[in-house]
Amino acid sequence: MSAVRKIRLVVLISGRGSNLQAILDQAASGELPVEVAAVISNRPGVHGLERARQAGVPALELDHKHFANRPAFEAALIELIDRHRPDLVALAGFMRVLTADFTEHYRGRLLNIHPSLLPKFRGLHTHERAIAAGETEHGASIHFVTAELDGGPVIMRARVPVLLGDDPDTLAARVLEREHRLYPLAIRWFAEGRVRLDGERVWFDGKPLAEPLWLEEALLSR
Ligand code: NHR
Ligand code: GAR
């Protein structure tokens, strides 16, 4: 039996859901003190919804195309999420830009995984852009979501080398493997109360973080 209370987590996806799977697996094994209360996709029929069903988690669709505009979609999304009373909401390959109304509603309890070493390469097509820029290192970041796209305070990053002959797919695969360690660990810290947002700053173990943590160092010091 664990001493840590489980938090309620809602995961938002748009596709494959491999990061969701990593979270579901660690929740099932007891490594991660979360109850995945619901999984919501803005795209109908994606594989991530099937993963949720397999894990016995409510798999919900909210197709943004059925709404006249972003605010109308987001109002419905907020209502659907809040029905599940989450302590934390995690974007995991969620591909819709969110307005400030949404990000403010969940301020301090909304995380995203972004496939670059933030603050480098905000936005889309990060692997392609990292290769084109001649980067020798690339990776993924976990950040608190604010209105500024991929600009919220960063908690932790994981890095991988860019290898000679990499194309966006080979590089994405190398990054994704790290993502599957990175996201569950950041969520676990949040659940344990070790990480929180205060204003514009991330606090970790009772101290403001001067720099985002590195996954590799975090795993060593566990
Ligand atoms: N919203 C806010 N306000 N702040 C962030 O940090 C956000 C966000 C919404 C999503 C994830 C994100 C990423 O990690 C994310 C972070 C989608 C787009 C995008 O341009 C950009 C960034 C991210 C997700 N989406 C297009 C849109 O018009 C649609 C693209 C598509 O459907 O394929 O919403 O990179
Ligand atoms: C992941 O690489 C994630 O970092 C990225 O999409 C992939 C989702 O994979 N997120 C974004 O690009 C957000 N714009 P998954 O569905 O298998 O978890």
Write down all domains in the chain, each with its CATH number in brackets: 7-220 (3.40.50.170)
* Tens-digit pLDDT profile for residues 157-190: 999 999 999 999 999 999 999 999 999 999 999 9
Q: What's the confidence (pLDDT) of residue 221?
A: 77
Can you tell me the distance from the alpha carbon of 96 to that of 152, in angstroms, rounded to the nearest whole number?
A: 16
Name, in order, each residue with C-beta under 8 angstroms of 146's C-beta and a sequence gap of 6 or more: 103, 107, 152, 153
Q: Which residues are catalytic?
A: 114
Average pLDDT, the chain: 97
Least distant ligand from the CA of 148 = 1
- The dihedrals phi and psi of 94, each to the nearest 5 degrees, come to -85, 125
* Tens-digit pLDDT profile for residues 61-104: 999 999 999 999 999 999 999 999 999 999 999 999 999 999 99
CA of 181 from ligand 1 middle (Å) equals 22
Tokens of 122: 């905000």
Tokens of 15: 């596709």
Q: From the CB of 129, is ligand 1 less than 6 Å away? A: no
Per-residue pLDDT band for 222 (boundaries 50, 70, 90) equals low
Q: From the CB of 94, is ligand 1 less than 6 Å away? A: yes
Tokens of 208: 């403001």
